[in-house]
């Protein structure tokens, strides 16, 4: 049902878009097996990556023309982009309907010990830290880097810097880390961070994904509930289905992209590091905003291109069905 007003970024199914995810770099200092190949990707030449000024311009136009309210910085690994705090400062100056933008970041946490405080002062409000194993050897196998201690320090630094909330993103893969669900729940309860378990999606560069590797929401919740009973929280428009601990010790979330897709209430658009706007993680097409900007295009040209791209957004992905088409880009190239 159409729920927007004139000027909203509405697709042909009536979904109003309020959330922009920006990949600030395609580079990364880890090589998670479910995301990148061991040798990394062919990194983009720096001249092809959007400048901070170009990113700021796209955000300003989307906020002013379409009422985008929240922006999440991601990658690749966003914190490997030099002077990221300068971008945060610039974005924090943009007003959405008179209020500051809701600014968040998804990071692997390895560098947070040295940059969390600076990013918080620059205006970053919320943070998600990705961590898929609490066991040092397994972490090293999964990320192909022996950096678990740095991530744990990064989580502590994020809490000290006052990000609210600090969430942990855990991609659950059967036979890989599915025996750590309760360990992660305990970790979250003890540290005061909310853990979000993510169903494994077919966006790995190595194309090793298979349906049997997915651990679905029901199994995740049943496994944790045996140790720490959980109750469902009524689902809002956010992708995560939330569950609170019956004893009041916080909550966990599950992002059930595969077993319970939330495409019907999707409010996201994505900007890749080289300036392509995508209407979906799984989109097969995108529009090149960098070409418009570097070709001397106006804000009106950007507005028209964005609207056309969103209007051709499909109803949803079809993971698991015969009609599903894997996107050409992997997660790190799109910006998760």
Give the 3-state secondary structure of residue 251.
Answer: strand
Closer residue to ligand SF4, CB minimum distance, 74 or 241? 74
CB of 32 to ligand SF4, least distance (A): 3
When CB distances are held under 5 to 8 angstroms depending on the partner's kind, the choice from ligand SF4, ligand SAM, none that residue 36 binds is ligand SF4
What is the C-alpha to C-alpha distance for residues 252 and 170, in angstroms, rounded to an integer? Answer: 11
- Which of 58, 198, 240, 254 is in the footprint of ligand SAM by CB under 6 A? 198
Residue 32 contacts ligand SF4 per CB under 6 A? yes
Determine, following the binding rule CB under 6 A, whether residue 68 of this chain makes contact with ligand SF4.
Answer: no
Contact (Cβ atoms closer than 8 angstroms) between residue 100 and residue 122: no
**By the rule CB under 6 A, 203 interacts with ligand SAM:** yes
Between residues 10 and 87, which has the closer beta carbon with respect to ligand SF4?
87
- With binding defined as CB under 6 A, does residue 215 bind ligand SAM? no
307, 6 Cβ separation under 8 angstroms: no
Q: Are 197 and 220 in contact (CB under 8 A)?
A: yes
| Residue 49 within binding range of ligand SF4, rule CB under 6 A | no
Q: Which of residues 290-329 bind ligand SAM (CB under 6 A)?
A: none
Q: Which of 11, 19, 77, 251 binds ligand SF4 (CB under 6 A)?
A: 77
**From the list 9, 21, 31, 34, which residue makes contact with ligand SAM (rule: CB under 6 A)?**
34
User: For residue 165, what are its two tokens?
Assistant: 């909330």
Long-range contacts from 118-123, C-beta under 8 angstroms, 24+ separation: 118/85, 119/84, 119/85, 119/88, 119/161, 120/161, 120/162, 120/163, 121/85, 122/85, 122/86, 122/88, 122/89, 122/92, 123/88, 123/89, 123/91, 123/92
Q: Which does 31 bind (CB under 5 to 8 A by kind): ligand SF4, ligand SAM, none?
A: ligand SF4
Question: Pseudo-torsion of CA 96, 334, 129, 90, nearest 10°?
Answer: -30
Q: Are 137 and 115 in contact (CB under 8 A)?
A: no
Q: Which of 94, 82, 10 is nearest to 51 (CA)?
A: 82
Select the span of 115-123, 159-167, 176-184, 195-203 touching ligand SAM (CB under 6 A): 195-203
Range 164-183, binding ligand SAM (CB under 6 A): 169, 171
Residues within window 87-106 making contact with ligand SF4, judged by CB under 6 A: none
Whole-number Cα distances in Å, 307 to 18, 21, 182, 273, 328: 13, 16, 44, 20, 23
Binding mask 105-144 for ligand SAM (x = CB under 6 A): -xxx---------------------x--------------
Task: For the beta carbon of residue 290, count every other beta carbon within 10 angstroms.
Answer: 20
> Of 130 and 272, which has the nearer Cβ to ligand SF4?
130
What residues line the site for ligand SF4 (CB under 6 A)?
Answer: 28, 30-32, 35-36, 75-77, 108, 130, 331-332
């Amino acid at each position: 049902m159409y729920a927007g007003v004139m000027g909203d970024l509405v697709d042909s199914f009536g979904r109003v878009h309020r959330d922009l995810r920006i990949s600030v770099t395609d580079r990364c200092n880890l090589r998670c097996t479910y995301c990148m190949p061991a040798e990394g990707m062919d990194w983009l030449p720096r001249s092809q990556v959007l400048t901070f000024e170009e990113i700021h311009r796209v955000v300003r136009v989307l906020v002013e023309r379409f009422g985008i309210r929240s922006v999440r910085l991601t990658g690749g690994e966003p914190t490997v982009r030099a002077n990221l705090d300068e971008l945060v400062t610039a974005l924090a100056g943009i007003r959405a309907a008179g209020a500051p933008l809701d600014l968040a970041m998804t990071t692997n946490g390895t560098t947070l010990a040295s940059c969390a405080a600076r990013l918080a002062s620059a205006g970053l409000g919320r943070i998600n830290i990705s961590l898929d194993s609490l066991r040092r050897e397994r972490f090293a196998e999964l990320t192909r880097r022996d950096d678990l201690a740095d991530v744990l320090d990064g989580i502590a630094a994020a809490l000290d810097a006052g990000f609210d909330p600090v969430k942990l993103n855990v991609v659950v893969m059967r036979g890989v880390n599915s025996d750590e669900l309760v360990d992660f729940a305990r970790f979250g309860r003890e540290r005061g961070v909310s853990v979000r378990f993510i169903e494994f999606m077919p966006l790995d560069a190595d194309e090793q994904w298979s349906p049997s590797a997915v651990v679905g929401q029901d199994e995740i919740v049943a496994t944790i509930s045996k140790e720490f009973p959980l109750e469902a929280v009524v689902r809002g428009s956010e992708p995560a289905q939330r569950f609170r601990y019956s004893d009041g010790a916080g909550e966990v979330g599950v992002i059930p992209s595969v077993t319970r897709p939330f495409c019907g209430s999707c409010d996201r658009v994505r900007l890749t590091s080289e300036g392509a706007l995508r209407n979906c993680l799984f989109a097969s097409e995108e529009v090149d905003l960098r070409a418009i900007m570097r070709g001397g295009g106006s804000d009106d040209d950007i507005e028209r291109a964005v609207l056309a791209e969103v209007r051709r957004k499909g109803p949803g992905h079809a993971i698991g069905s015969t009609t599903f088409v894997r996107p050409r880009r992997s997660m790190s190239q799109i910006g998760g």
